[in-house]
Structure 1
Amino acid sequence: MSAFFEWLDTQPVGSVLYVSLGSFLSVSSAQMGEIVAGIRNSRVRYFWEKGGGFWTHCGLNSIIEGLYAAVPVVTFPIFSNQVPNSERILENWKIRWRVKKLEIESGSLVIRDEITQLVKRAMDLNSDERKGMSKRAKEVKEILFV
């Protein structure tokens, strides 16, 4: 594990996307393939642990982690309370991008091109959109955790 943290320490601040899909519910193998391919195609640094952006399923614990870390969030709600968590909590504070799902015969799927473009937007440290979200994320953290 220390090799991962050593790698993280060598990356520019805020340049690594942290991906969390929770521990209870999971996505289909087809959806996981699209997520992995989309993130890889974006060519941003990513890690399934700690980073400067946060991809989350919007479980309450993940929301709290993202707020405490004061980072913008890419939301991928999967089930139940995760959808309103994404909508009410993160949209009200304007610190998130939401992944859009396509309806297909067997359910819904987010395709890799959508994921690639969204991850690029979320991790563009020089964009005004990202800078604004980062600033608001820090303000929300100060309100909630100070």
Structure 2
Amino acid sequence: MDELVAGVRNSSVPYLWVSRVEASWFKESCEDRGLVIPWCDQLRVLCHSSTGGFLTHCGWNSTLEAVYAGIPTLTFPIFWDQVPNSKQLVEEWKMGRSVRSEVGTENLVSREEIAEIVRNFMNLDCNEGKEMRGKARQLAEACRGAISEGGSSDVSLDSFIKVLSKGHAD
């Protein structure tokens, strides 16, 4: 975690860091590039026009919110469903990049590597970043289409409710 925090800080990219645990040591070293807060409405932040990327542990809710917002991701999974969620974002949907690198059975990455990854990720002229942003926008459009009236999620939910209602009436 120290390497991750130092890497983001050393990238010179402006950031918002949400940490529910005591992070005064991090707040003190933010200088004028970052803001550390204990809570935020994550989906609202991700949907804001000034948000350019999202460093995430890849929990399912964070994954869905990133896709819905159309924001490219830097993935840093730790355990459980986060690893396959990261793989989905990076390898399948191609809207993200993994921050971790495997060395034997260890997942190691230095602060210097993280700083470079963050700088490249946020570089609007980088071809890889352009491709990720494009894929992220496509997925966001698909999500919004699915939940709109007549979309696949809308139709499926209505169908599910009708089936439940019939079963309950018997």
TM-score normalised per structure 1 = 0.70
1:114 shift after superposition: 1.6
1:110 shift after superposition: 2.6
The match for 1:97 is 97
Whole-angstrom CA distance in 2 between matches of 1:89 and 1:129: 14
Whether the aligned pair in 2 keeps the contact of 1:57 and 1:75 (CA below 8 Å) is: yes
What 5-or-longer segments of structure 1 have no aligned partner? Answer: 1-31
- Identity %, equivalent residues: 45
Q: Which residue identity lines up with residue 39 of structure 1 in the other structure?
A: V
Number of residue equivalences: 114
1:40 shift after superposition: 1.3
TM-score normalised per structure 2 = 0.61
- Residue by residue over 1:80-102, the C-alpha shift from the partner in whole angstroms, topping out at 9 and shown as x without a partner, is 11101111344211111101246
Two-structure CA RMSD over aligned residues (Å): 2.0
Whole-angstrom CA distance in 2 between matches of 1:90 and 1:145: 21
Structure having the higher Rg: 2
- Residue by residue over 1:81-138, the C-alpha shift from the partner in whole angstroms, topping out at 9 and shown as x without a partner, is 110111134421111110124659xx64431012111111110012122111111100
Whole-angstrom CA distance in 1 between matches of 2:95 and 2:10: 23
Q: How do 1:46-125 residues align onto structure 2 when only pairs under 5 Å count?
A: 46-48=15-17, 50=45, 51-101=51-101, 108-125=107-124
What 5-or-longer segments of structure 2 have no aligned partner? Answer: 19-44, 46-50, 146-170
1:68 shift after superposition: 1.4
Whether the aligned pair in 2 keeps the contact of 1:101 and 1:109 (CA below 8 Å) is: yes
Secondary structure of 2:100's partner?
Answer: coil
Distance 1:89 1:83, change over 3 A: same
Secondary structure of 1:97's partner?
Answer: strand
Secondary structure of 1:48's partner?
Answer: strand
